[in-house]
Structures are given as structure tokens and as C-alpha cells.
Amino acid sequence: MPFVIAIDGPAASGKGTIARAISDHFGFHHLDTGLLYRATGAKGGDPVEAARSLTAEDLARPDLRSAEAGQAASRIAAIADVRAALVDFQHRFALREPGAVLDGRDIGTVICPQAPVKLYVVASDEVRAARRAQELNADPAEMLVQLRERDRRDSERAAAPLRPADDAVIIDTSNMDIDEAVATAIAAVERVR
Ligand code: C5P
């Protein structure tokens, strides 16, 4: 079996940065699963149909990173049939040799519950809002409101809500720089590899 690293956490916690860095470090494939939901939301029309017919082109749209695309993603991500339509692609990706890193909201709990390494990355609301504001050149106060709304929607939904798996290693990046956060994640992987 290829090695799978599942990384979950709320928006702007640092999970994407950590996922990219550890996939580089171990030479594994990386899938940002948020992109699947962003592309589904951005496609418009019936979201279940959109999820079923996603193409590589849909995933390459330059506007997927915006705060609006994030909000639209979290709305359609609450629909169980949308999530079901995206499961196969994620399962196939997780089988890629020599290993795969998937980051999202439900990787450790629903998509890859057997993953030998599960990381749950968190940071304070204020730190996450400041990071996202810098990234998108936006107002931190406005980002804070948006992040909290998205976290609430992602945590309170019935279908695959955002929460750590029982055996996840929690990494709080509030007071860490990128190098420290990545080193902490690599150490957690090395412990079981
Ligand atoms: O991680 P990112 O901010 O790109 O995710 C956008 C939205 O997609 C999240 O707020 C969440 O609603 C949804 N998502 C999800 N499950 C995942 C990844 C993302 O529900 N595995």
C-alpha cells in the first residue's frame, strides 16, 4: 500500500503550506481537495452535476483562490451528493505510488480514515485572518468575519463536518513560522514511517 498523509484543519491554518512542503520532502503526490469544492462551486448550475463533471480545466481556473470562491465552495460542500461525487477521485489519488498527501476538511475522518499519519492543523482565528488578508491583499477584520462564517458552516454541517480524527496529531501554528510548522509535521510523519 502506498503511504498516505491526511491533513485537515480550518481555513488558513497553514495546512496547504504544510501539505506542499511535506509532499516535496517525501517525494509524494499532493492533492489540495479544497480545489475540488472550489471548482464545483465556481462552475455554477446544479452543484451535484458540476461535481460529477469536473474537468482538469475547471480545476485550473485562476479565480478559485478568491474569498468568494471559498464561500461558494463551503456552501456546496454541505451537500452530501456533491461530496459523494468527489470521493472516487480522492480515493484513486490516495493510491498513487509512492505516497500521497491529501489536505482538506474530512481526509482523516472520511476519505482516508486508515491513513497512517493524520495531522490536524489549527491556528487562532486572528492569526488565520491576518495570514489570509495578507495573501489576498484584503482587510483582516473582513477576513476574520468570513473565516468564522466558513468554519462554522464547515463544522456544523451534517455531511463530513470539520473535526479532528481521534488519532490525529494536532499542530497549532499560531506561534510558528513556516519552517517550524513544516519541521513539526515532518517529525510527526517520521515517528510512524
Ligand atoms: O481548503 P479550502 O479553503 O480551499 O476549502 C474550500 C471549502 O471547501 C472549505 O471551506 C470546505 O467547505 C470545502 N472543503 C470540504 N472538504 C474538503 C476540502 C474542502 O468540505 N476535504
Is 12 touching ligand 1 by the criterion CB < 6 Å? no
114 Cα to the center of ligand 1, angstroms: 20
188 with 137: CB under 8 angstroms?
Answer: no
CATH number assigned to the domain comprising residue 26: 3.40.50.300
Instruction: Give the mean pLDDT of the chain.
Output: 97
Which domain does 51 fall in, by range? 3-192
Is 93 touching ligand 1 by the criterion CB < 6 Å? no
- Report pLDDT for 193: 86
Q: At residue 63, does pLDDT exceed 90?
A: yes
Whether residue 17 is annotated as binding a ligand: the answer is yes
Distance from C-alpha of 49 to C-alpha of 60, rounded to nearest angstrom: 18
- What is the share, in percent, of the chain residues with pLDDT greater than 90? 98
By residue count, the chain amounts to 193
Q: Which residue has the cell 463530513?
A: 160
Distance from C-alpha of 44 to C-alpha of 120, rounded to nearest angstrom: 31
Residue identifier of the C-alpha nearest atom 3 of ligand 1: 11
Peptide bond connecting 98 to the previous residue in cis, omega within 30 degrees of 0: yes
- Report pLDDT for 189: 98
109 Cα to the center of ligand 1, angstroms: 14
Average pLDDT over residues 175-183: 97
Task: Retrieve residue 12's grid coordinates.
Answer: 488558513
Residue identifier of the C-alpha nearest atom 11 of ligand 1: 74
Classify each residue of 90-128 as buried b or exposed e, where b means 16 or more C-beta atoms within 10 Å of its C-beta: beebbeeeebbbbbbbbbbbbbbeebebbbbbbbebebb
Task: Categorize the per-residue pLDDT at 182 as very low, low, confident or very high, splitting at 50, 70 and 90.
Answer: very high
DSSP 126: H
**Could you tell me if the ipTM is greater than 0.90?**
yes
Task: Categorize the per-residue pLDDT at 35 as very low, low, confident or very high, splitting at 50, 70 and 90.
Answer: very high
- Report pLDDT for 2: 86
Instruction: Using the atom order of ligand 1, give the atom closest to the CA of residue 16.
Output: 1
Average pLDDT over residues 38-42: 98
Give, in degrees to the nearest 5, the angle at Cα 145 between 106 and 64: 55
Is 103 touching ligand 1 by the criterion CB < 6 Å? no
Number of domains in the chain: 1
Is 10 touching ligand 1 by the criterion CB < 6 Å? no
Task: Categorize the per-residue pLDDT at 7 as very low, low, confident or very high, splitting at 50, 70 and 90.
Answer: very high
Whether residue 62 is annotated as binding a ligand: the answer is no
Distance from C-alpha of 164 to C-alpha of 100, rounded to nearest angstrom: 19
pLDDT tens digits, residue range 94-144?
Answer: 999 999 999 999 999 999 999 999 999 999 999 999 999 999 999 999 999
189 with 5: CB under 8 angstroms?
Answer: yes
Amino acid residing at 78: A
pLDDT tens digits, residue range 78-89?
Answer: 999 999 999 999
Is 11 touching ligand 1 by the criterion CB < 6 Å? yes
